[in-house]
Every structure is written in structure tokens, then in C-alpha cells.
Structure 1
Amino acid sequence: MAETFTAAVAEQVGQNLGDALQALTGEHVGWGELMAQLLSQLLISILYLALFVGAYLLLIGAIRLVIGKERAQKPLFSQVRSGARYLAGLGALLAILAQFGASPEFLKAMARAGLMALGFFVAWMIVGRLMKEGVARYGMDPSIRQLVENLLLVLAGTLAVVTVLAQFGFDVLSIIAGLGIVGIAVGFAAQSTLANFIAGITLLIERPFHIGDWVTINGQDGKVIKIALRTTWLRTRDNIFTMIPNDSVASSDIVNYSAEGVTRLNIPVGIAYKESVKAAREVLMPVLLGHPEVLQGAGMEPRVMLTSLGDSSMNLEVKVWITPDNLDVQPRIMADILEQIKEVLDAAGIEIPFPHLQLFIDDAKGLKPILEPLYTKLAAKPAVNK
């Protein structure tokens, strides 16, 4: 019973699929004939694929044997191998499509499109190599190289897509006109993005800072991590990343602490008026000269200078120089020096004053009934002999 039911279902499904194929092709197709044809085409496709893979392996093996093992490790050989692999894949694809009834016109168009795509790839590799040599020769900033590569990649990609589509009968002029209209619409819809893009190009050309510099932008201190086309990335000393739009960066004040190399730190210190500035300087200089991260070259000697006379203190300023690499830990260096300054001043008995308030209540008549008995009591109290 079950076998009869299964056979009936299979017969009905086969009949339905046969009717569907007949409606699509206009001819009656037998299932046995169709399966045999598909199997034979599949076997022939596998043979073609094996043939092209074998030809690729033989070609790469012959090239490696000719140029030697050492040259085969260079990037040029890797690029040649990628090109040969691409050609082998393209040939196998064309042969397999021909087995499944693709028209000669379609195969020719695909072959031309594949070869043109390979040509664009080779041209891009040559341009990239020339750009790399130009960067090494002229010391071009990596950010400008990144900008040029992105622009060329977009232009080359657009041109390659349009050229490939033209091989299949698409109207290139209509495509270009459509891209122009889309570009205008996008320009109106993304004015802020375009403004940031143009500002990013301006920053890369003027170069007020480079990747790795410590800067202050819009009141935000940080190390420049990346200069993108739309934003500038900063990393603070707390390891917090900040993305600032390039339009805002270009229109704000920029302070670059790394542009001139070494940086000077100014640490304020106050001492009492009764103390000697010379004595304080003699106490502080050994701390500065002995600190491992304070520079002591010509023109960068540590100094202790009197800068002003305050309300309750003589204001000194400790001036030291540090290397650009130490800008990452600048707060730690300042805190370390300030702590040592406090210790040596205390050890030398030099007073560090602090603001205080003195209150006079002699003329406060309203407090007389309270303070007068207290004064009388204190005056009548006998002194204690020590």
C-alpha cells in the first residue's frame, strides 16, 4: 500500500514538472533524457575546470622554476600568480557557460569584460607601485597618500564598472548622465558631508598636524590617530577616542604640541615672603637635574624663575623640557616633579604659604556682653609656672 502511494506521488510530481518544463520550453522533455544531458554537461564542465586548473599549476610551476625560489617570494610573483589564477578562472567560466548553451555574443562580451577588468587591475597595481615609490622618494605624508589612493580607487572603480557594462550593450552615456544627476542630488542632500570632505582635503594639504601629534582642537586634547576624509580621530590620555568633523577642525584654533619637537613644561610653585628665592632655587635644581625624563641639552636647561609677587606668596615657575615621546605621559611627569618639589621644600624648612583670612572683632559692640566676662576670667586666671 505504501509503495503504491509513493509511486503515485512520484509519478504525479514528475508529470507536473514535465508540464512546467514543456510550458517554458515549448517542447516535451523526458526526465531521463534531461538528467542524462545535465550529467554529461556536468562531467564535461568538471573536465574543463580540471584542465584549466592543471594549466595554471603547470604555468606557475614553470615560472617558479625559471625565476628561482628567492624571487618567487617577492610581491611581483604573487601579483603574477593572481593574474594567472584570474585568467584560468575566466577561461573555465567561459567554457562551462558554453556547455550550458550560452550564446556566442554573450561569451564574447563576457570575455572582453573580463579582460578589461584585468587591465584595470594591472593599471591600478602599476599606479600603486608608482605612488609608493613617490612617497618614499619625496617624503609625502601618509595621509595625502591615503587621500590620493581613495580618490583614484573611486574613479578607477567607476570607470571600470561603466566599461564592463558597456560590453554587455548598456548605454554608457545614459549611465554617466544618470550618475551625474544622482551626484547632484546627493550633493544637495549631503552638504555637511561634502563640507567635511573638502575640509579634510584642506587639512591634508595644509597639514597643521600629522598622525601621532598631540594637539588641542576645540578644547579637546588628544593624539591624532587618523585623518579621514570626513573626520579627524583623537585619542585622549584616558584612552578615549574622539571623532571631530573636519569642517569643525578647519574652522577652529589648533594647538600642536609636537610640531617643533621638544616641549617645555611650566610648573608653578609658591614660597613665603620670608623665604629666599635663591635658597629655594638651590633646593629645587637637584630635583630637576636628577629627573630621568627632563632634558638637559644646550638651550634646554631646567630653570627656576621668579615670575610675580602675589598677595601671600612669591610665585616661582619651574621650567623643564621633555621629548615628544613623553607627551603621552606629560601629566605623570608634572605630578612626579611637583611631588618631589613639595618633599624637598618641606625638608629644607621653606614654607609654602596658602591663602588665609584674618578676622578683627575689636569694634564689634554687639558681642561685648559675651566677650567682656570671658576677658575678665582669662585675666584673673593665675599663670602656670613651667
Structure 2
Amino acid sequence: MDSITNALNLQEMEALTARLVEMGVQYGLSIVGAVLILIGGWIISGWAKRGVQRALARAGLDETIRPVLGSVVRYGVLLVTLIVVLNQFGVQTASLIAVLGAAGLAVGLALQGTLSNVAAGVMLLILRPIKVGEFVEAAGTSGTVKSIDLFTTELATADNVYISVPNSAIFGQVITNYSRNPTRRLDLTLSIDYEDDMDKAIALARDVMEGDPRILAEPAPVVAVKALGASSVDIAVRGFATTADYWPAYFDITKRLKERCDAAGISIPFPQQVLTVRGGRMPEPEPEATSS
């Protein structure tokens, strides 16, 4: 009886071993195939992204849109790769898509803030209030736009500090674009002493503006008295320059105004106050007490 039992157990063990070997071969090949498909899909998605960006660049498409379209193609290839991998294991993709749809709805409700960034990124790409390479002020910060992705916009400040701003923060607030218009107006203030000749200072400032080739003739520069300040007569000095020449012209003209005022004997006063005592003389200061 024991021999019969041992024989049956041996047969069961052999059958189980054979089954495990068969399953190992079957699923092992599937796992190896799935890994190879994942690696191939990852590599192909990168190639597809770079190829699309190069093709769009040759087609002359704006640099702002090229990275986004390249990312969309990459994620599309990865999605197809995932479906192929699931087919390797016999998963019914039709049922999976329905499950993913329901899960996507739940995830969408949980990630409303993230999805708002995606929606804002799409609107930024459609309306184009900012482009790559432009200097803008948005969401409380300013810098040159480096890239616009589906979730964030990357900026580099004037001192080359990297800043990543959520798209919803940019699209939901006022955007100031300093690079969009081809020209900008320089606004300078020349403050002179009340005893100086205003007409002489105005002529001097106008000569400086008209003598700089970066200041456009149309619209013509404007030099006029702007305000009678507490310590000075303030003269507005305004003129238009191209956006590229704005800061070089601003710095050079500021320096040249100071040099011309010094040469002409026109002073730029420090803040000062005049004290007038009415109804009598100011009391004399008491002498300091001397120690005996």
C-alpha cells in the first residue's frame, strides 16, 4: 500500500514539475518579450520625439510649439508600447481601455490642479501671449522664456536663475511681454537746480537724444518740464528705440546726460529743505556746560 502511495506522489510531483517548467517557459518568454518591447518602445519614443522636432524645425514651425508636439508623439508611442506589452500576457485591451477610462475620470477629479496646468498650457500654445526667447513678467516673476511644456513654463531670470512656473499661475494672471513689440519708449528724468537755465537744459537733453542713432526719429523724442519737485526741476526725456537697443541706449544716454550737464555747468541737486521761521528769530543755542 505504501509503495502505491509513494508511486502516486511521485507521479504528482513529476506532473507538477512538468507543469511548472511549461509555465516557466511560457511566461518566461512572455516576460522577456515584454521587457524587450518596453526597451524598444522607450528607445523608439525618444527617436520619434527628436525626429518630429527636427522635422518641425525644418518646416519653420515656431520653437514654442515644437517641444510640446514632440512630447505628445513620445507619449503616444509609449502608450502603444504598453498596449502591446499587455497583449503579450493575454490581457483583453478592450476591457482594459474601459477600466482605464473609469480610472482616468477618478484620477482627473483628484488631480484638478494638475489638469488645470495642462489646460492652461494648451491655451498658452494657442493664444501665444508668450514665446520662447521673449522676456516676460508673469506670476510675480520675470525672465526669458526657455520652454513651455504641458505642465510648467521654464524661465531664466536676468541673473540666469532657473525658475519653473505652473502654467495655470501664468495664464490666470496679467502677462507683461517686454519683447513682443518691436519698439519701446525710454523714460528718463533729468533733475536740475531751480537756479539753472531750464531752456539750456532742455536743449542739451534734446541734443543728446537726437544725436544717438539708436533713438528713432519717428515718433520724435520729447523733452519737456515734467514737474516742479521739492528740490529740483524735473525734465522728462523720452524717446523710442528698438527693443534690442533699449537697455544699451538707456545706459549710454543716462551717462551722456550727466557728462553734458557737468560740462555745461548745470547741477543735479541733492534733496534739500528750506526752513523758514515766522514771527521772530530762532533762539540762540545754549552754551555747553563746562565741568569745574
Give the aligned partner of residue 171 of structure 1.
92
Q: Deviations over 1:108-132 (max 9, x none)?
A: x959x96xx78x959x85x976775
Q: Contact 1:162–1:175 (CA<8 Å) still a contact in 2?
A: no
Q: Deviations over 1:331-382 (max 9, x none)?
A: x7534432332232122111323442222335368x65x46x99xxxxxxxx
Q: What SS does the corresponding residue of 1:334 show, helix, strand or coil?
A: helix
Unaligned runs of 5+ in 1: 1-21, 28-100, 375-386
Q: Say whether residues 1:245 and 2:245 are aligned partners.
A: no
Letter in 2 for 1:246: N
Q: Contact 1:235–1:241 (CA<8 Å) still a contact in 2?
A: yes
Q: Contact 1:295–1:301 (CA<8 Å) still a contact in 2?
A: no
Give the aligned partner of residue 363 of structure 1.
279
Give the aligned partner of residue 233 of structure 2.
314
- Of residues 238, 247, 255 in structure 1, which corresponds to 2:176? 255
Q: Say whether residues 1:324 and 2:243 are aligned partners.
A: yes
CA distance in 2, matches of 1:260, 1:190: 37
Give the 5 Å matches for 1:1-386: 102=25, 125=48, 133=55, 136-137=58-59, 139-285=60-206, 287-288=208-209, 295-299=214-218, 302-326=221-245, 330=247, 334-363=250-279, 368=283, 370=284
Distance verdict in 2 for CA 1:326–1:220, change over 3 Å: farther
Q: Deviations over 1:251-286 (max 9, x none)?
A: 111111111123222111122344333311333345
Letter in 2 for 1:304: V
Q: Contact 2:221–2:239 (CA<8 Å) still a contact in 1?
A: yes
Deviation at 1:201, TM superposition (A): 0.9
Q: Percent identity?
A: 31
CA distance in 2, matches of 1:273, 1:282: 17
Letter in 1 for 2:87: A
Deviation at 1:213, TM superposition (A): 0.7
Question: TM-score, with normalisation over the residues of structure 1?
Answer: 0.56
Q: Contact 1:144–1:205 (CA<8 Å) still a contact in 2?
A: no
Normalized per residue, the structure richer in helix is 1
Aligned residues: 264
Moved more, 201-210 or 270-279: 270-279
Q: What SS does the corresponding residue of 1:346 show, helix, strand or coil?
A: helix
Deviation at 1:23, TM superposition (A): 8.2
Letter in 2 for 1:343: E
Letter in 2 for 1:189: A
The structure, 1 or 2, with the larger RCO (C-alpha pairs under 8 Å, 6+ apart) is 2
CA distance in 1, matches of 2:147, 2:120: 15
Distance verdict in 2 for CA 1:133–1:237, change over 3 Å: closer
CA distance in 2, matches of 1:304, 1:348: 17
Deviation at 1:223, TM superposition (A): 1.3
Give the aligned partner of residue 382 of structure 1.
none
Q: What SS does the corresponding residue of 2:164 show, helix, strand or coil?
A: strand
Q: Deviations over 1:140-195 (max 9, x none)?
A: 32222222222232233212321342144122123223322332232222211111
CA distance in 2, matches of 1:26, 1:191: 51
Letter in 2 for 1:351: S
Q: What SS does the corresponding residue of 1:258 show, helix, strand or coil?
A: coil
Unaligned runs of 5+ in 2: 1-12, 19-23, 288-292
Q: Contact 1:214–1:224 (CA<8 Å) still a contact in 2?
A: yes
Q: What SS does the corresponding residue of 1:225 show, helix, strand or coil?
A: strand
Distance verdict in 2 for CA 1:311–1:358, change over 3 Å: closer
User: Max radius of gyration: which structure?
Assistant: 1
CA distance in 2, matches of 1:267, 1:206: 34
